[in-house]
Amino acid sequence: MKTKILTLLLVGVVASSCVQIKNDMNKNFDHTFAHVVYFWFKDPDSAADRATFEASLTKFLENSQFAKTKFIGKPPKAIRDVVDDSFTYSLILTFESAEDQAAYQTEPPHLVFIEECQQMWEKVIVYDSQGITE
């Protein structure tokens, strides 16, 4: 009986922690300016290119003084026709202002990332948007 109570208590603590983490992540998403980047690699199956890209991108994001939300993604296998899974990586960043996003473009960590990785991609598409509500 004590084991069941302890297990239920532990599950409750873990569940509430997960909810708090999710809520904290949502609080960090800045709705002012979003910058979404899709990368298509020349050789998307190259494990070496992927490792180099992920390490360089992670280093860049850890050192960016302007990016708020920092999300690196890979496409899941699309199960609906409207989902485009042709890209190799996606990047979602948010900024406090359009001015911060412009400054990020020339900050040294961003320029180093481009220098280290630009030879890997054959196509990059960027979508920028400003929030309609604050």
pLDDT digits 0-9 by tens, 67-93? 998 999 999 888 898 988 999 999 999
62 and 42 within one domain: yes
The whole model's pTM is what?
A: 0.75
CA gap 26, 14 in Å, rounded: 19
* C-alpha Rg value of the chain to the nearest Å: 19
88 and 51 within one domain: yes
114 and 55 within one domain: yes
55 and 106 within one domain: yes
At 8, phi and psi to the nearest 5? Answer: -60, -40
54 and 2 within one domain: no
87 and 24 within one domain: no
108 and 89 within one domain: yes
Tell me which residue range forms the domain holding 3: 1-30
> What contacts 24+ positions apart, CB below 8 Å, involve 97-106?
97/32, 97/33, 98/32, 98/33, 98/130, 100/33, 100/66, 101/33, 101/35, 101/66, 101/128, 103/66, 104/35, 104/64, 104/66, 104/67
CA gap 94, 96 in Å, rounded: 7
Confidence of residue 100 (pLDDT cuts 50, 70, 90): very high
How does pLDDT run across 9-67, given as a tens digit for each residue? 443 433 333 333 343 444 566 678 999 999 999 999 999 999 999 999 999 999 999 99
77 and 24 within one domain: no
Identify the pLDDT of residue 83: 85
Identify the pLDDT of residue 132: 85
pLDDT at 103 over 70: yes
63 and 23 within one domain: no
63 and 118 within one domain: yes
Domain count, the chain: 2
52 and 1 within one domain: no
